[in-house]
Amino acid sequence: MGLRDLAYGAYGKRIEASLDRTVIPRHVGVILDGNRRWAKAYGEQVAEGHRKGADKIHELLTWCEEVGVEVVTLWLLSTDNLNRPPEELADLMVIIENAVTDLAAARRWRVHPVGALDLLPEHTREVLKRSEAETADLTGVFVNVAVGYGGRHEIADAVRSLLVEHAGKGTSIEELAEVLDVEHIAEHLYTRGQPDPDLVIRTSGEQRLSGFLLWQSAHSEFYFCEAFWPDFRKVDFLRALRDYSARHRRYGA
Please give the positions annotated as active site.
33, 81
Q: How many residues does the chain have?
A: 253
Cα atoms in the Cβ-side hemisphere of radius 13 Å centred on 146: 26
- Positive or negative: CA dihedral 126, 129, 131, 133: negative
Give the other-Cβ count within 10 Å of 100's Cβ: 25
Buried b (16+ CB within 10 A) or exposed e, 106-145: eebbbbbbbbbbebbeeebbebbeebbebbeebeebbbbb
Measured distance CA(8)–CA(136) in Å, rounded:
37
Q: 3-class DSSP state for residue 181?
A: coil
- 10 Å CB burial of residue 204 (0-12, 13-18, 19+) is buried
First to last CA, the chain: 48
Residue 150, CB-side half-sphere exposure with 13 Å CA sphere = 15
Side chain identity at 160, as an amino acid letter? R
